[in-house]
Chains A and B, each alone.
Chain A
Amino acid sequence: KAGVTQTPRYLIKTRGQQVTLSCSPISGHRSVSWYQQTPGQGLQFLFEYFSETQRNKGNFPGRFSGRQFSNSRSEMNVSTLELGDSALYLCASSLAWGRDEQFFGPGTRLTVL
């Protein structure tokens, strides 16, 4: 069974631009969550989608948004990029509920210049 895939793997943008990251979960998984990892803040939860609905949201500004499609694939978008948005963005998928084991993709490393 294929694992979680994320595209692109690396991205360089400049301040003020916007970016869209994509995540394809494991086949049959309906929950997709996004996390941001930085050296200073560690791993922080961005949001979670289940059956095309946002089920939970972390403490990030409205510039960070996401969506989920009917095939469970998810995208996250960051608008008006800031230098501080440089990070590793990780996507996780699970079957459905919080007690289910979660599996992570390889991540997208975003650099904002």
Chain B
Amino acid sequence: GIQVEQSPPDLILQEGANSTLRCNFSDSVNNLQWFHQNPWGQLINLFYIPSGTKQNGRLSATTVATERYSLLYISSSQTTDSGVYFCAVVDYTGANSKLTFGKGITLSVRP
């Protein structure tokens, strides 16, 4: 099946710094989503971005489908950005909705 790798596994930032989180995937995809998992465990949707570039406030994301990677940019980080960020994909092969997740990136933003 499709493989998803996220890097770096851990990231520590000072408040106000910028960061780039990377997601590599091993095959063509129908769907790519970025999530932030809150302290209570819920996955919060950040971006639905199988290709192209999107922006939402201080966050933006780019997926280059032909090169099989996606990047999540966080600018002017805040302590509330801390948590685990997941990239997840649905492969192109079928009509099902199975998401394959990366292992996540743990971001700590220090005041």
Residues of A within 8 A of B (CB): 31, 33, 35, 37, 42-43, 45, 48, 50, 55-56, 58, 88, 90, 92, 94, 97-107, 109
Tell yes or no: B90 within 8 A of A by CB: yes
Hey, which chain B residues are within 8 Å of A90, CB to CB? Answer: 41, 43
Would you call B99 and A102 a contact (CB within 8 A)?
Answer: yes
Given A43-B101, A92-B99, A98-B98, A104:B31 Cβ within 8 A? no
Hey, which chain B residues are within 8 Å of A58, CB to CB? Answer: 98
Would you call A97 and B101 a contact (CB within 8 A)?
Answer: no
A58–B99 Cα distance when bound, in Å, is 11
A33–B23 Cα distance when bound, in Å, is 22
Given A98-B90, A100-B31, A101-B48, A88:B96 Cβ within 8 A? no
A99–B94 Cα distance when bound, in Å, is 10
Residue contacts A-B, CB under 8 angstroms, 16 given: A31-B97, A42-B104, A43-B101, A55-B96, A56-B98, A90-B43, A92-B99, A98-B31, A98-B91, A99-B30, A99-B31, A99-B90, A100-B31, A101-B31, A101-B48, A102-B99
Would you call A88 and B41 a contact (CB within 8 A)?
Answer: yes
Given A104-B42, A104-B43, A48:B97 Cβ within 8 A? yes
Nearest chain-B residue to A108 (Cβ)?
B41
Interface string of B26-58 (1 = CB under 8 A from A): 000011010100001111010010100000000
Hey, which chain B residues are within 8 Å of A97, CB to CB? Answer: 30, 95, 97
Nearest chain-A residue to B42 (Cβ)?
A106
Which of A42, A100, A107 is close to B97, meaning CB atoms less than 8 Å apart?
A100
B60-111 interface with A by 8 A CB criterion: 86, 88, 90-91, 94-101, 103-104
Hey, which chain B residues are within 8 Å of A109, CB to CB? Answer: 41
Hey, which chain B residues are within 8 Å of A37, CB to CB? Answer: 41
Would you call A106 and B40 a contact (CB within 8 A)?
Answer: yes
A45–B97 Cα distance when bound, in Å, is 10
A37–B86 Cα distance when bound, in Å, is 12
Hey, which chain A residues are within 8 Å of B97, CB to CB? Answer: 31, 33, 48, 50, 55-56, 92, 94, 97-98, 100, 102
